[in-house]
Structure formats: C-alpha cells, structure tokens
Homo-oligomer: A and B are copies of this chain.
C-alpha cells in the first residue's frame, strides 16, 4: 500500500491475515469476479477483449483452486488479494482492472452471502435425509410400545414410532429456519463499493441475476456492514444442534445397560483403551456435545457486531471462522444422526417390558372415575392415594382387591381391572396428535406428505 513506509510487523501480519481460512471462499470469489467482469464489459467500463482475457484467466485460477494447485503466498493478506495477484500474474497489467468499481468490502459480503446460501441449502438436503430416516424408522416400529417420559420418570406409554416422529417435527422446523436463512441471502451486496456506492453506473441487477440473487441490497452502507444472514444461519444451526443434542442424549440413555432400549451398530460405537467389555456411544455423546459449540459461534458473532459503528469494520472478519466451524460441525452432526438412527437396533422386549409398568395407567384410572362423574381433580386425588397404598403394599395396581379399592372410592368396579389390562392405555389416547395407533398412522401420513412437499419444492 503506497502510503505506508514500513512493511507490516510479523505480529501484525499474524493477527491480520485471513487467507488461512478465507481461502474457503475462493470458488465463490472467482464466480463473482467473472460476473463482475461481464457486467463491466456490458457497461462499457471494460472492453470486450479485456473482459475475455480476464474471464479466461479467472477460469484458469478457478481450475487451479479446484485441483489444489492454487498457491497462497506469504504476502497474500486474504483470498481476494491472492486471487487478484495470481490473475495479474496470468493476465498481466489488465488484471489490475478487475477491481474497478468494487471494494473488498462489498466483495467479501458477496462471497459470504453466496457461501451461506449454499450451506443453508446443503443443511436442508441433509435435514431432508434425516427426515426420511425418521419416517423409515417410525414405519418399522409403528406398533412398538415404550414408556413415554416426563421428568425422566415413566409417565404414559407411547409407540416408538410416535416418539421418533416427535423428532421429525423438530427437524422439519429446522428445515424451515434454513429456508428463511436462504431467503435472507437474497440481496446482492456487490456494487456497494467500500460503503457509499461506486463512481460508475454499473448494473448491479445484472450481476445479481448471474449469481442467483433475487435483488440488490438497497443501501450501500448496509450492504457492507450487514452480516444478518450469517446470524440467521448460526441461529438456525444452533437450534438444530440443540435438537440433535436431545437426540444424542436420548441415544446415550437408551444405550445404557439400565435402559437397554437400543444397541448402536458396531460401526457407530467405540471401545475402551482399558476396559475390554465397553461399547461406548461416542458419536451420540458428541452429537450432544457439539451443540454448545454451535451456539457459542452465534453468541460470539453477536458479540463481535455489538456496538459497532457503520459501515465496515475489521472486526467483521471474525464472521468467517465462526461460520465455517458451525457449518462443518452441523454437517457431520446431521450425517452422524442419520447414520446412528438407520443402523441402530431397538430392543422390542426391553421397551415393551418398561411400557408395561402398570403405574403408567394411573391417569386412565383417574379418567375412569371422571367418566363416572367425579371431577378430575378429585379423581386425581383418589388415584394418588391408591398408588401410595400399592407402593406401600408392594403390589401392582391390578393386584389390589376389590375391598382395598373400596377404601378409596365406591366407583371402582370391574372396569378398573379392564383399564389396567395393558395396551388399552396406549390406544385410549385418541385425541388428535395422540399416541393411539390410528392417530400415529394419521400423523405418519402427514409426515410423509410433508417430506414429499419438500422434495417437490427442491425439484
């Protein structure tokens, strides 16, 4: 830079240089440069020959990037400078014309918008696969009873399919969040220049169309200082990672000897360096452990942007590493979740035995009393006392005699014992969205249709 007399200090260089990580944007950077060149030629700023030459050389650089031959030099501050430097080596002085009517500020914002758009779409593809896996597994386990839990206490039995479909809807909402994020990348920053627009009557809409943007950013200051779309990605990723952590946490639980509901495939398990008997659910634990990392990237970037004056500040260079790591983390987590779910073996007997715990029918007994005229709150009280009595006597509910029952209510007759006959408690949950077999079938249909809708939208 001509106004400086001294070269950068090595410490300055090491804090300032970004080419170690922003080289990941190389392909997008070249694509935008090509669109920029085409537009400059269309606007008469470059001649056709210049444009042709620049385009050809940009394609050469792109090829080098693609095949790994592209070299970064110690002096290359960032990937934009590295590419322009290489272009100029190939094209000669005309390479210096590429940067007409743009700045690194709008350039990097454009790269980032392109990158986020691509990664939001990629997350949607992986989510759609995970949704498909959940539907498959729900179908395969459509009528397998298991205990439903609240407070990690057995509460009421549900079908395993119903439990799996709960995750379907969680990840479906994540899919929608990435759609929002994708749309948030729809306005082209390029052409905003350093912050104020450029001294050339460029056609930003033409560039937008070529690069797949729906519109141009309305305000040049905002265009270079806006990283909302990165935050939208990180926010969607954080919520999705939290969902994955819940799935990971449940897989860990279910794989314990105590629960014994699930055995992960060997291909998704680890051994121990010291204990030969161990089969550890490492991937599920990591699924759980990665969520705070993604959320931390969101928090960090919000912190970076906190209180920053307009327009571009160097602080914003911090957007990249936070985003890149979040992208990679989410990618491997979504794949691992699908892999574990599709290869793990559920244990029908262990699930059924746990689901057969009679105390899970306590609400059904209370509802029997309600049908016989007792207000629910009173019925709840009666059954609570029954439960305590049974626990103290170490009896199951169905082992209580008619005489014992009569101490608690005069409305408990044979139907009491019928209600306790296992299975009926599950299919008694007939409300919309409930766990009765018909309702789960209905829900499965709705899920399939939703997934098809997603496929159609993509096609």
Chain A residues 357-408 with CB under 8 Å of chain B are 357, 359-360, 362-367, 370, 375-378, 380-388, 391
Q: Is the pair A435, B220 in contact by a Cβ cutoff of 8 Å?
A: yes
Cβ of B303 and Cβ of A291 under 8 Å apart? yes
Report yes or no: A431 in contact with B193, Cβ–Cβ below 8 A.
yes
> What B residues does A317 contact at CB under 8 A?
286, 289
Cβ contacts under 8 Å, A232 to chain B:
177, 239
> For the complex, is A305 an interface residue (Cβ under 8 Å from B)?
yes
Given A11-B339, A318-B290: A162 touches B219 (CB 8 Å cut-off) = yes
A75-96 interface with B by 8 A CB criterion? 77, 80-81, 84, 88, 93-96
Chain B residues near A216: list those with CB within 8 A. Answer: 432-433
- Of A26-34, A112-120, A165-173, A410-418, the stretch lying at the interface with chain B is A165-173
Q: Given A222-B170, A289-B314, A310-B149, are A3 and B270 also a contact pair (CB < 8 Å)?
A: no
**A193:B258 contact, CB within 8 angstroms:** no
- Identify A217's interface contact among B1, B363, B381, B433, CB under 8 A: B433
The count of residues in chain A whose C-beta lies closer than 8 Å to any C-beta of chain B is 197
* A289 lies within 8 A of B315 (CB): yes
State the oligomeric state as a number of copies: 4
- The closest CB in chain B to the CB of A93 belongs to B375
Which residue of B277, B288, B335 contacts A307 across the interface (Cβ within 8 Å)? B288
Q: Kindly state the separation between the CA atoms of A157 and B286 in the bound complex, as whole angstroms.
A: 25
Stretch at the interface among A56-64, A65-73, A99-107, A451-459: A99-107
25 A-B pairs with CB atoms under 8 Å apart are A8-B268, A11-B339, A77-B270, A95-B375, A96-B376, A99-B274, A101-B431, A150-B224, A153-B255, A153-B280, A162-B220, A169-B218, A169-B226, A194-B363, A199-B367, A216-B433, A246-B307, A246-B308, A258-B258, A274-B366, A275-B362, A278-B362, A291-B306, A296-B297, A303-B303
Q: Are A16 and B286 in contact (CB under 8 A)?
A: yes
Pick from B278, B359, B431: contact of A155, CB below 8 A.
B278
Q: Would B155 and A270 count as touching, CB distance under 8 A?
A: no
* A288 vs B314: C-alpha distance when bound (angstroms): 10
Asked if B105 and A196 sit within 8 Å, CB to CB, the answer is no
The answer to whether B221 touches A16, judged by C-beta atoms less than 8 angstroms apart, is no
The yes or no answer to A441 lying at the interface (CB within 8 A) is no
Given contacts A93-B375, A99-B273, A151-B285, contact A296 B306 (CB under 8 A): no
Instruction: Known contacts A332-B11, A431-B198, A433-B216; decide if A253 and B170 are in contact (CB<8 Å).
Output: no
In the complex, what's the smallest C-beta–C-beta distance from A253 to chain B, in angstroms?
6
Most central of A199, A269, A292, A387 by chain B CB within 10 Å: A199
Contact B332 A304 (CB under 8 A): no
